[in-house]
Structure 1
Amino acid sequence: MKRIAVDAMGGDYAPKAIVEGVNQALADFSDIEIILYGDETKIRQHLTATERVRVVHTDEKINSDDEPAKAIRKKKQASMVLAAKAVKEGEADAILSAGNTGALLAAGLFVVGRIKGIDRPGLLSTLPTRDGHGFDMLDLGANAESTAKHLHQYAILGAFYAKNVRGIEYPRVGLLNNGTEESKGDPLRKETYQLLATDSSINFIGNIEARELLNSVADVIVADGFTGNAVLKTIEGTALSIMGQLKTAINAGGLRAKLGALLLKPSLKHLKKTLDYSDAGGAVLFGLKAPVVKAHGSSDAKSIVSTIRQIRTMLDTDVVGQSVQEFSKEEE
């Protein structure tokens, strides 16, 4: 049985969306147990599942505007902190939260702990592509600055994730850069390129430009956290903008536009699904001793189910355990 600790109080629509997602996940997956941390009275208002779930009550929670490290140190009884402690103490196998991203990163580092040999865990997420295949990208903001060694480790971690969680036998790894030529980029990108090119354990395919990311040119994209976070938000914002502009154009186009939209409804639904990142699950703080997964702050029940499915696959394939073994070999 896979035990997942869930911060029920994190996110824009908590605890309702979180608990509704848990209800559905328990119905879909018979091999999981959920521990919900938060205000029991508020949680019980939405909890319909009665088996394989329990609630640990706490009145304390970490707010979106709390300073991350300080909040983890001072709010010892916060729902997120208690969930992280459950993982550290072996009461749960993984933690899920849609709350304060910085606080979850701090809880992952200071409570769960990083894998020996990993200098800086990276934030990894699966992003959509035009053909629906998707790609994994890290770091998406766990670290504002990185060295070439850190980016090399992200490539190894990303390839591990793509192989074990997404079932890609020999993932293509690309380095996000401002050109495809080997000579392109700043000193960080050039040094990273050489490290990746000489690592025979990685299927490194070279530099990738940002405009090609949604064309399935690679299975794993490596970037520093500052750049990766900016790219992530650009992709999210562009997808929302395209759908918004399309809806506005249809509404303003009169009867002819509405009839056209009706005929194109199946195609438009497919377009929306292609641009929808909620099916892929959450962002994984990869490089820690257990799965620590951040759902989007605006997650609805569907997104929570997808994130629990993702965690379930991570536990099934023991991707974290395999990462521990791999980096232990490197240390030796």
Structure 2
Amino acid sequence: MRIGLDMMGGDFAPTEAVKGVKAFLDTVAADVHLVLIGDEQQLLPLVAEAQLDQSKYSVVHSSQTVGMNEHPTKALKEKPQSSISIGFHLLKNEKIDAFISAGNTGAMMVGTYYSIKAIEGVQRPTISTLVPRENGTYGLLLDVGINADCKPENLVQFAILGSLYSQHILKIDNPKIGLLNIGEEEGKGNLLALATYPLLKENKQINFIGNIEGRDVLSEKADVIVCEGFTGNVILKMAESFHELALRRNIEDDYMKKFDFEAYGGTPVLGVSKPVIIGHGISKGLAFKNMILLAQQMIESKLLEKIKESFVSNEKQ
């Protein structure tokens, strides 16, 4: 398999991206060829210094970079030789099997929508985050930011996508799906929650357990927690602050360390036809290594094929 990596994306590029590549190649025995997309003048000295196995990677030169604060659509249109643009070109033309970047999130989403397209039947692709639980396992929360306003049908699809991801990537059998709400009772919530509940309840593709409250998010009550992106993003940013708070207060706690985003790298865009993984702008070596591992898992598990099958069968019902 060939995994493309934007080496110029993120606040610490390309230095930390090279560290992540080295960590992956040094510790993972896999038939993976990495395609490193970036400015050769900056990249090649770092790659040489890292003493990477030359048979395990190739470099594709990019002469432009999309800045973190640039307008996504304008940047991709005006910078066809950027590392992000080239990455999507390679993915679209099947020169790579997955694409990873910690660069401009908006540009990554625009590139995904217009280059890769959604899987047939998926109304809105979504992004998720892992939720650390005290027993060492992880739950999944989605959407966490790209769909701030949603319809009930969107949340049902998020539940299906999250369920499939949990089964095939997190290895959770028959994952429990919970709808994030302000109360456990079926009649609680705003208009979106009230309209979504019966649709989840009647959907035979998922194991819906009902509403869950904010205090249940970090528990094992639900394996997949569904909400619209506005609420999900607030929870995500608050959870990230737990780790920062622990560091500032010199708190040594194994559970709190699990809130460090570096531990799981990035988030896949679920619902599109090829693997696209978006990393945090401040990603360092460990995060890049884990994003490559996630891309490898998605390809080996044939997750996208299973999502396509699920939505085809859903359309026929």
Note whether the superposition's TM-score is higher than 0.5. yes
For 2:129, which of 125, 129, 141 is the aligned residue?
A: 125
The answer to whether 1:278 aligns with 2:262 is: yes
1:112 paired residue number: 116
Structure 2 counterpart of 1:216, from 202, 216, 220: 220
Once residues 18 and 156 of structure 1 are traced to their aligned partners in structure 2, the CA distance between those partners, rounded to angstroms, is 32
Alignment correspondent of 1:7: 6
1:143 equivalent in structure 2 = 147
Once the two structures are superposed, residues 122-180 of structure 1 have per-residue CA deviations (whole angstroms, 9 ceiling, x without a partner) of 01221222222111111111122111001000000000000011111110111111111
Q: Residue 20 of structure 1: CA displacement?
A: 1.2
Write the distance in 2 (CA, Å) between the matches of 1:284 and 1:164.
Answer: 13
C-alpha distance in structure 2 between counterparts of 1:29 and 1:177, whole Å: 43
Q: Is the 8 Å Cα contact of residues 127 and 280 (structure 1) preserved in structure 2? A: no
Write the distance in 2 (CA, Å) between the matches of 1:143 and 1:272. 28
Equivalent position of 2:289 in the other structure: 305
* 1:296 partner letter: H
The 5 Å alignment of 1:252-291 reads 268=252, 270-291=254-275
Which amino acid in the other structure matches residue 188 of structure 2?
A: K
Structure 1 unmatched runs, 5+: 248-267
Q: For the Cα contact (< 8 Å) 1:36–1:55, is it kept in 2?
A: yes
> Could you list the per-position Cα deviations for residues 92-123 of structure 1 after superposition, in whole angstroms to 9, with x for gaps in the alignment?
11110001111111111111111110011001
| Residue identity matched to 1:319 | L
Secondary structure in 2 aligned to 1:87? helix
Q: In structure 1, what residue type is equivalent to 2:44? A: R
Distance 2:29 2:89 in 1: 24
What corresponds to 1:30 in structure 2?
Answer: 30
Q: Distance in 1 between matches of 2:13 and 2:241?
A: 23
SS state of the match for residue 209, structure 2?
strand
The CA distance in 2 between the partners of 1:278 and 1:242, in whole Å, is: 15
Question: Which deviates more, 191-200 or 238-247?
Answer: 238-247
Q: What is the CA distance between 1:326 and its match in structure 2?
A: 1.5
DSSP-derived class of the 1:275 partner: coil
In structure 2, how many angstroms separate the alpha carbons of the residues matched to 1:45 and 1:65?
27
User: Which residue does the alignment assign to 1:250?
Assistant: none
Aligned length: 311
- Identify the range of structure 1 (156-165 vs 224-233) with the bigger mean alpha-carbon deviation: 224-233
Aligned alpha-carbon RMSD (Å): 1.4
Q: Which residue of 2 aligns with 1:39?
A: 39
Query: What one-letter code is carried by the residue in structure 2 that aligns with 1:8?
Result: M
Which of 70, 90, 94 pairs up with 1:90? Answer: 94
Runs of 5+ in structure 2 lacking a partner? none
2:6·2:83 contact (CA, 8 Å) conserved in 1?
Answer: yes
Query: Does the CA contact (< 8 Å) of 2:242 and 2:256 recur in 1?
Result: no
Is it true that 1:163 corresponds to 2:162 in the alignment? no
Question: Residues of 2 paired with 1:182 and 1:239: CA distance?
Answer: 34
The TM-score normalised by the length of structure 1 is 0.90
Contact 1:128 1:276 in 2 (8 A): no
2:19 & 2:258 partners in 1: Cα distance? 24
For normalisation by structure 2, the TM-score amounts to 0.94
Q: Secondary structure at the match of 1:51?
A: helix
Match of 2:203 among 186, 192, 199: 199
How far apart are residue 74 of structure 1 and its match?
2.2
2:170 match: secondary structure: coil
User: 3-state DSSP class of the match of 2:185?
Assistant: coil
Secondary structure at the aligned position of 2:46 is classed as coil
Percent of pairs with identical residues: 35
TM-fit CA distance, 1:226: 1.2
Distance 1:21 1:324 in 2: 31
Which residue number in structure 2 is paired with residue 318 of structure 1?
Answer: 302
Counterpart-to-counterpart distance in 1, 2:135 and 2:88: 36
> For 2:246 and 2:180, how far apart are their aligned partners in 1?
24
Distance 2:132 2:63 in 1: 37
Q: CA deviation at 1:59?
A: 1.6
How big is each residue's C-alpha offset from its partner over 1:44-87, in whole Å with a ceiling of 9 and x where there is no partner?
12213122211111121111111112222222111011111111
- The CA distance in 2 between the partners of 1:271 and 1:288, in whole Å, is 32
Equivalent position amino acid for 2:257 in 1: K
Cα deviation, residue 269, structure 1: 5.0
Partner letter of residue 158 of structure 2? Y
- Cα distance change of structure 1 residues 131 and 275 upon mapping to structure 2, 3 Å threshold: farther
CA displacement, residues 284-324 of structure 1 (integer Å, 9 cap, x when unaligned): 11000011101111111111111111111111111011111
8 Å Cα contact 2:266/2:280 also seen in 1: yes
Larger radius of gyration: 1
